[in-house]
Amino acid sequence: MGVMISYPEPEQVKAYRDLIPIGPLSVAELVEKLRARLDIEEIGEKDITAGQMNAARFNAFHCVYNQKAIWKPEEMSFVLYKIVQNEKSRAYYDEPDLSWGIDGFIHVLFEEKTGFYASNSQRLNIEIGLARGVSKESIETEDYSFRGILAHLAIAEWEGRKIDPFVSDRSGRLKMIGQDRRNEGVMKSYPEQVEAYRDLIPIGPLSVAELVEKLKSRLDIEEIGEKDITAGQMNAARFNAFHCVYNQKAIWKPEEMSFVLYKIVQNEKSRAYYDEPDLSWGADGFIHVLFEEKTGFYASNSQRLSIEIGLARGVSKESIETEDYSFKGILAYLAIAESEGRKIDPL
């Protein structure tokens, strides 16, 4: 494995700064570039579950492109595309660390106002990020959008990943496309969330060790050995942990992080989680939970388990008083759960 160039040390800035395109491109422009390279099909609203849409709203609301919370979750508009599996897309489907969608296809999700995007193909995520670019101001101030592109490039170089950025022609602004795909349920506005949920949020945060103990008291779990975690998956985890709300001041560098991955044993205790209609299946058919021990970052392919871990973790008293992103994240979890009628049983 290669050595990842670290940030905020100057190597990444020196190596990649001049490679980052001035942007950002709109979602419409990115979709056109995607069409020029791959055959894509838009996914109809009926094929997107309420849970998936609420999770997307949460991620878009807290993404680096919406740092000032300009766009509220209820104002967002999403469009989801499936990448047709053919000769054009072979290189993407042949990725060894591809996180398969529940229907066996690669997808790309865009949110049209914030510019948020996500794909279950790590390579496609990187290429879209490079095509999107960042503003001149982001480059000059070296903000999180700029750092995100640096991390994309460092990850690609570190693992020797073949990256083929889309053509960076920025002539012509295309009309925004897609439809509003908001959940039929009503999600509370931010002031309503504060009023409804503020007193329900536990003071914390709990450590990863404490969360693991709570997880063990409810479910049978097995630790996954390092040999079963691919380099691509680990690099993606470092990227996400570095940019998570729990590491806003970039206290912990990617190379300083320590991850532990657990598999949820499929039995009577875990039936409710495996029966989730919007479960995003892991490559091995199991639910997993990933923790990073220094930042407190966590992730799971079970939306319900993600919410319950977030509620169990809690936030600091200062986070509640200042209503920072950690606090807003818990509010969003609760609003998502209520809006979709999801059964939540905090650990």
Residue partners of 32: CB distance under 8 A and separation at least 6: 174
Confirm if 112 and 178 have CB atoms less than 8 A apart.
yes
Measured in residues, the chain has a length of: 347
Look at residue 221 in the predicted model and tell me its pLDDT. 96
∠ CA 233-330-80 to the nearest 5 degrees? 55
Mean pLDDT in runs of 10 for the chain (347 residues)?
45 76 91 94 77 77 75 87 93 73 80 90 85 87 78 66 52 22 50 84 92 96 80 75 77 87 94 76 76 91 86 90 81 73 70
- Angle, nearest 10°, between helix axes 231-242 and 122-132? 40
Nearest CA to 312 out of 264, 270, 346 is that of 346
**Number of other CB atoms surrounding residue 326 within 10 Å:** 25
Query: Is the alpha carbon torsion for 18, 24, 27, 28 positive or negative?
Result: negative
Backbone angles phi and psi of 267, in degrees to 5 = -155, -165
Whether pTM > 0.95 for this model: the answer is: no
The pLDDT, as a whole number, for residue 92 is 87
- pLDDT at residue 186, as a whole number: 56
Structure confidence at residue 156 (pLDDT): 67
Tokens matching residue 67: 């740092």
Determine contact, residues 251/243, Cβ cutoff 8 Å.
Answer: no
User: Cα–Cα distance between 155 and 161 in angstroms, integer?
Assistant: 8
CA atoms 41, 44, 48, 54: torsion sign: positive
Q: Per-domain residue ranges for the chain?
A: 11-158, 196-339
Cα 226 from Cα 230, distance rounded (Å): 8
